[in-house]
Amino acid sequence: MASRRTARRLAADAGLLVVAAAFVLPLAWVILSALDPHANLRVKAPDGLTLDNFDAILTPEITFTPLLNSLILCGGATLLTVVCAALAAYPLSRFRSRFNRPFLLTVLFATSLPITAIMVPVYALFVQVDLIDTMQGTIFFFAASQLPFAIWLMKNFMDGVPKELEEAAWTDGASAFQSLLRIVLPLMGPGVSVVTVFSFVMMWGNFFVPFMLLLTPDQMPASVSINDFFGNRGMVAYGQLAAFSIVYSTPVILLYVLIARRLGGGFALGGAVKG
């Protein structure tokens, strides 16, 4: 019996090691190739440590301008998504209606729609309303595409805030909007952080939407400009590509680090409605 348990444990450990290797090896390739003057597709120790790959990409045309475009697009769309999701989730969480469940099911269905299936009519619509090749139009579409799942997440987090706290604020003369801003949102800080990080990450790595809606090269975000490292006839600057990938990933990592405490803080509402 003991030998059978040991065999199962070893099999489970081996499976976990395989899964871990599947995640670690691509990351190892990115880090090692960024420092390798002769990088290729193999995961190997660098022939010699160099920062030439970073020197080659740290220019306004290759990195700084696309990163700034990405920050404008994703930051603006994330802010718009979080604000609209909070305003939409509040009545769904606090007021009971026979339309709540159908609406939530519709929202859940909207999260399963592939972007590629709706890009042709969206492109035609943007041409008609003169939003094609504009940053604001891309921001609107980014926010609209992330809003269904953001509403679903925000509503579930908002359900965890006791309504009695709002009723106390209403007794003191606060409006529903004031109770949302001063009571509900501060108490569901971890939930707002989750929606913010999820929305930003999904937009940050999106290639297809800005590639279709933006035409001017100076407006392209980093998720599109990374395609420039893939040259003609299969030639790829692997070292520069790896270095750009590290720089490109830095804003997402910094965002997560900045709000990691709030993500793990949870809802400290255990005694909030007692007494």
- pLDDT, residue 75, reads 94
Sequence-distant (6+) residues with CB within 8 A of 113 are: none
- pLDDT, residue 64, reads 93
Q: Render pLDDT for 67-100 as a digit per residue (tens, 0 to 9).
A: 999 999 999 999 999 999 999 888 888 887 777 7
Confidence of residue 137 (pLDDT cuts 50, 70, 90): very high
- pLDDT, residue 268, reads 46
Q: Is the pLDDT of residue 264 over 70?
A: no
Q: Render pLDDT for 96-125 as a digit per residue (tens, 0 to 9).
A: 777 778 877 887 777 777 787 888 889 999
Q: Is the pLDDT of residue 12 over 50?
A: yes
214: which 2 tokens? 């933006």
